[in-house]
Amino acid sequence: MMSRKSFLPFHLPDVDGSELEYIEEVINSGWLTSGPMVRQFEQEFSDSVGAQYAVAVNSCTAGMHLALEAIGLKSNDEVITSPYTFAATGEVIRYFDAKPVFVDIDKTTFNIDTALIEPAISERTKAILPIHIAGLAVDMDPILNIAKQNKLMVVEDAAHAFPTTYKGKRVGSIGDLACFSFYATKTITTAEGGMVCTNNARWAERCRTMSLHGISKNAWNRYAADGSWQYDIIAPGFKYNMTDIAAAMGLAQLRKSDRMWHRRNQIANQYNSAFISIPEIEIPYFDNENQHAWHLYMVRLNLEMLTINRNQFVKELIDQNIGVSVHFIPLHLHPYYQKSYGYEADDFPVSHQQYKREISLPIYNRMSDEDVRYIVGVVKEIIDRHKR
Ligand SMILES: *Cc1c(COP(=O)(O)O)cnc(C)c1O
């Protein structure tokens, strides 16, 4: 049996000297919260995804809240999304007392099944909220068409999708608004943070205003030498702005994000070639036309070929010092959604079935080739011991 002495974490951020250098610059400047570093990060991030505007916030959840506020979501409105996602996607709709209308996912991609969207549209539908799961682009063209025909907005949960491309365009420049996450485990991190991207000046301005108390001039202008002490509160906003310390980290991460992506892509290729010939495992879907961000490497077990279930498989991996995870427990299986909307597990059968067979393996640039070989070896060995 293979073994290693130290635990291989599911994720480790790549944070080193360049983050420290930029953070030191902020500390020495005496300006800690939203200021020049945030502006620089917004500028470089929007350039990198090809969006006209980017508003830095303190989480993707906050960003999605602001995006839905900007498009005017109201109570009793409906937003079409899929249940195969993290808590944040559903909760931001509930912040407005609006209704998340779930439709199932595509069996191959884990992304929303675009064929199910049109039948789910009602008089109250305001927006479609697709999630680019794992960093694999959602098929956006049919969604944009449906949105156009039905006068709906498209807000993307792009928490996993930096850097993802769809038909040559970066996610962040495709839908009406796209929200990225810089949480500690995401493809680039500010510890906690997020970014709203849009090509619409009015929505960008609304997000910016509402991210800082609904004050019409932001604090940076207010305290700059040429700024003024006056401000207007135009709406009861939120406290969602990003700090300059976080932005310093984000800028350092952004500037090395290509190298980080290349390494993840290499690891994905190493996994793919090792697992492709093993019938007990299904490798994640990808295509060579669109760039996969490889935030997650989601494999599926062909359970009918194994004598153990997914949970037992996970336990064996952890027992052999490999940190793994499961993405995601579909929202409709959680008590809140079951109680509020009366959902049952098989109301979204594809989500339910795929969830039962999914395991996410570590994929981050600090992993060595030896780490990858160890994981591949352990996976193969578990399969050999539990083949039917
Ligand atoms: C991480 C995540 C979020 C939330 O991001 P935060 O920055 O932690 O708010 C939203 N959606 C998905 C799919 C995520 O994985």
What 8-state DSSP symbol labels residue 335?
H
pLDDT of residue 230: 83
Mean pLDDT (the chain) is 96
The DSSP result for 307-325, as a single string, is SS-HHHHHHHHHHTTB--B
Nearest residue by C-alpha to atom 2 in ligand 1: 159
Q: Which of 59, 60, 131, 132 to mutate to test the pocket of ligand 1 (most atoms within 8 A of CB)?
A: 60
364 CA distance to ligand 1 middle (Å):
17
Residue % of the chain over a pLDDT of 90: 94
Q: 133 CB less than 6 Å from ligand 1?
A: no
Tell me the pLDDT band of 345, cut-offs 50, 70 and 90.
very high
Q: 82 CB less than 6 Å from ligand 1?
A: no
Q: What is the mean pLDDT of residues 360-379?
A: 98
pLDDT of residue 229: 81
Q: 157 CB less than 6 Å from ligand 1?
A: yes
Cβ count within 10 A of residue 215: 19
From the candidates 99, 186, 356, 387, give the one annotated as an active-site residue: 186
pLDDT tens, residue by residue, 269-279? 999 999 999 99
Q: Is 186 a catalytic residue?
A: yes
Q: Which of 55, 91, 92, 183 to mutate to test the pocket of ligand 1 (most atoms within 8 A of CB)?
A: 183
pLDDT tens, residue by residue, 148-183? 999 999 999 999 999 999 999 999 999 999 999 999
pLDDT tens, residue by residue, 237-280? 999 999 999 999 999 999 999 999 999 999 999 999 999 999 99
Q: 183 CB less than 6 Å from ligand 1?
A: yes
181 CA distance to ligand 1 middle (Å):
6
Is the per-residue pLDDT at 91 higher than 90? yes
pLDDT of residue 315: 98
- In angstroms, the CA 205 to CA 210 distance is 9
Residue 88 Cα: closest atom of ligand 1: 10
Beta strands in the chain (DSSP E): 53-57, 78-81, 99-102, 125-128, 153-157, 165-166, 169-170, 177-181, 194-198, 281-282, 297-301, 358-361
- In angstroms, the CA 207 to CA 194 distance is 12
Query: Model pTM?
Result: 0.96
Is the per-residue pLDDT at 220 higher than 90? no
Query: Judging by beta carbons within 10 Å of its beta carbon (0-12, 13-18, 19+), is residue 167 exposed, middle or buried?
Result: exposed
Tell me the pLDDT band of 223, cut-offs 50, 70 and 90.
low
pLDDT of residue 226: 61
Q: Which residue has the tokens 């009366």?
A: 342
pLDDT of residue 225: 62
pLDDT tens, residue by residue, 100-126? 999 999 999 999 999 999 999 999 999
More confident residue, 198 or 225: 198
Q: 159 CB less than 6 Å from ligand 1?
A: yes
Give the CA count within 13 Å in the CB-facing half-sphere of 332: 24
- In angstroms, the CA 152 to CA 131 distance is 16
- In angstroms, the CA 172 to CA 180 distance is 8
pLDDT of residue 2: 74
Residue 61 Cα: closest atom of ligand 1: 9
Is the per-residue pLDDT at 236 higher than 80? yes
